[in-house]
Structure 1
Amino acid sequence: MAHHFARGLLLAALGLSAPGLAGCAAFSPDSGMSAVSDLTSQTIHKDVAFVRSPEGAEAASGTVRRLLSRTLSTDAAVQIALLNNKGLQAAYNELALAETDLVEQSLPPNPVFSVSRISGNGASEIERQVVGDILALATLPFRSDIARERFRQAQLRAALATLRLAADVRRAHVRAVAANEMVVLLTDAKSTAESTAQLAVKLGETGSLNKLDQAREQVFYAETTADLATARQAATSGRERLARLMGLWDDGLDFRLPTQLPPLPRRPLTLPSIEADAVGHRIDLQIARLELTSLAKALDLTEATRFVTLLDLAGISRRTQDPDSAPFRERGFDVQFQIPIFDGGEVRVRQAAETYNLAFNRLTERAVNVRSEARDAYRTYRSTYDIASHYQREIVPLRKIITEEMQIRFSSMQVDIFALLTEARQRLASLRRAIDAKQSYFLAQSELQTVVNGGGSPASGGDNPTTIAAAAPAEGGH
């Protein structure tokens, strides 16, 4: 009878497993990277690669070497970082680990067979014990569905890490190139200031220049020298930050950067639907929406299992000893479960419900913030464009005209050398502000792209699934 009972129990356990086996997840060929690649190609139009083989590493290295052989544009720097940054590769490793969790959660529990040898009254017998986790089998569809949502979130997080790296590289490249442009400008200014200071010394020796004017020329040269040293340090630090983000070392560190930022576009972007675009495309908001869906399903699972925390059904063989009789064996089965006298599952249900409510409120908060961030980013973008354009089209050309007219008047001896030098100092100040304005514009342009697509700094509170916010209009309500 024991053998027949064990056989029937085994068949029952396998029968319960059959529906789950049909929906078991399997490992994908690329560990879920296809979704990451699609998202990033749609937003930043760049290739990504999860390097897991010598052939893949060599292909990525070949592309990096080819891009480094030319002067490094912003797009080229971003592409190098996406292929070569090891921190990003680690994020893709986390995605691969998330897929293992998906596969694990979609599998039914393995049946457990135990073999024991029991002897008594000169006889021996092999009894088999079959244990099946009925609760795990019953909740398998719920757990598998939740695991798929979690894996989708992991894919979006990997895409978000990709976009964040791309945004960091864009900003670092803009700052590094702007620093180079400032170095070039101040190098020329220092040369002019040095010549002027030497002239002032000679004129002072002849008595043609008083000490006050001599000191003014000397201090301008000294200040320009200090400014140049500061600009060179900023350029060096900016270059190193860019190299870190691109994952470069040794021979890769001799990359070439442009000497100046590109010209402004003829006209700025017009984005009347910037708020809707941000809400619709932000990857961090997609993650939060999926998290809310997962929490809703988890709440349903908690409701379904609130009264049952453990249910083990087992065929057993147990040896007992009666003081008044010979040893004998009992065969049968044992069912154990908790009786909900003190805790009927309300605590776990309330915890799940409040976790869901917390995520929902964070979602709503973040939805408001994303819209505000989008409006502010666009206003900043337009403002910095107008300011940079004003310098490029008005102030710098006017300064050039003034300098040319002053040189003509100096040649005809209508003004002296010091009036010409005063104008040169004023022109230098305008050119420096023009570089700063152009840098601010390109940084604002990068921030605008980040606000729409995602990839900015993590929201306060981190990326914890229960604290990150989602955006879309509340699906299903509160």
Structure 2
Amino acid sequence: MAFLKMTIAALPFALGACAATIPAGITTPGAGFGLVASKTQVATGKRSVWLQNASQAQQVARDVHAMTHRKTISADTAVQVALFNNRGLQASYAAIGLSAAEVWQQATPENPIVSVGLLGIGAPELGLFRALESVVAVNLLDAPTRKRRVAVAQADYQRAQMQAVVDTLSLAAQTRTAWIDAVAAFETVALLNEASKTADASSELAARLGQTGALNRAG
């Protein structure tokens, strides 16, 4: 019986040794997005937002309206609006949250349930011994694989963060390029319209001079 009591007392320590440490920041709201937001803001000077509720979405909508309503859209404004409204970016940011949840799940061991039964007349401890043996065996077998699973999940988590950074910077660059192309095309059209007006005015002047005979005399 004394050995039985010692075994029960040592059980929490044995099971606790099998637990993996949950990485810092995994369980915080918006886990992992802070890194993406800071890196992309340094590179672009613009804010990135991971929309996780209706309140955030409404605030972003108000911000976009304030930036664009009855205003000339600059390249900076176009980039900021694109970062706020792009659904592809939101999917990329959500992937960070999913990968963070996977890290947490892999790092958190299942809570063992010890069930004690009377397996045998005159030997009530037998059921407890078997239950303890089963619980400890399962946790000891799970511990080595858990460490590897956590490492894989953390690698996926970091990969999701870097992919979100790349996606954000790519969208910012593409938006700026598109804005420059649009402005260049607009200016080209304006120049062509001006040239067309000048040509039309010259033709009209030539026609009038021709009617008066002044053009022929000048020739």
Structure 1-normalised TM-score? 0.36
1:30: which partner in 2? Answer: 30
2:109: which partner in 1? Answer: 108
| Residues 20 and 141 in structure 1, CA contact (< 8 A), matched pair in contact too | no
1:18: which partner in 2? Answer: 16
Residue 200 of structure 2 aligns with an amino acid whose one-letter code is: E
2:123: which partner in 1? Answer: none
1:88: which partner in 2? Answer: 89
**Other structure's SS at 2:42 match:** helix
Among candidates 161, 173, 181, match of residue 155 of structure 1: 161
Distance 1:143 1:17, change over 3 A: farther
Q: Deviations over 1:246-299 (max 9, x none)?
A: xxxxxxxxxxxxxxxxxxxxxxxxxxxxxxxxxxxxxxxxxxxxxxxxxxxxxx
Query: 1-side partners of 2:8 and 2:181: how far apart?
Result: 69
| Residues 22 and 108 in structure 2, CA contact (< 8 A), matched pair in contact too | yes
Distance 1:83 1:10, change over 3 A: farther
Distance 1:108 1:9, change over 3 A: farther
Higher RCO (CA 8 Å, separation ≥ 6 residues): 2
| Residues 50 and 89 in structure 1, CA contact (< 8 A), matched pair in contact too | yes
Shift in Å, 1:142: 3.8
1:54: which partner in 2? Answer: 54
Distance 1:187 1:79, change over 3 A: same
Query: 2-side partners of 1:164 and 1:190: how far apart?
Result: 39
Query: 2-side partners of 1:193 and 1:93: how far apart?
Result: 57
1:337: which partner in 2? Answer: none
Query: 1-side partners of 2:51 and 2:186: how far apart?
Result: 33
Distance 1:190 1:111, change over 3 A: same
Alignment of 1:135 with 2:146, yes or no, is no
Query: 1-side partners of 2:9 and 2:156: how far apart?
Result: 32
Residue 153 of structure 1 aligns with an amino acid whose one-letter code is: R
Query: 2-side partners of 1:89 and 1:17: how far apart?
Result: 40
Number of matched residues? Answer: 201
| Residues 48 and 82 in structure 1, CA contact (< 8 A), matched pair in contact too | yes
Query: 2-side partners of 1:189 and 1:15: how far apart?
Result: 87
Alignment of 1:178 with 2:178, yes or no, is no
Unaligned runs of 5+ in 1: 119-125, 210-412, 417-478
Query: 2-side partners of 1:206 and 1:117: how far apart?
Result: 125
1:188: which partner in 2? Answer: 194
| Residues 92 and 158 in structure 1, CA contact (< 8 A), matched pair in contact too | yes
| Residues 95 and 154 in structure 1, CA contact (< 8 A), matched pair in contact too | yes
Distance 1:208 1:137, change over 3 A: same
| Residues 40 and 169 in structure 2, CA contact (< 8 A), matched pair in contact too | yes
Alignment of 1:75 with 2:73, yes or no, is no
**Other structure's SS at 1:23 match:** coil
Distance 1:20 1:146, change over 3 A: farther
More helix by share: 2
Q: Deviations over 1:299-357 (max 9, x none)?
A: xxxxxxxxxxxxxxxxxxxxxxxxxxxxxxxxxxxxxxxxxxxxxxxxxxxxxxxxxxx
Aligned-residue Cα RMSD (Å) equals: 3.8
Distance 1:22 1:140, change over 3 A: closer
Distance 1:46 1:17, change over 3 A: farther
Residue 60 of structure 2 aligns with an amino acid whose one-letter code is: A
Distance 1:89 1:10, change over 3 A: farther
Unaligned runs of 5+ in 2: 120-126
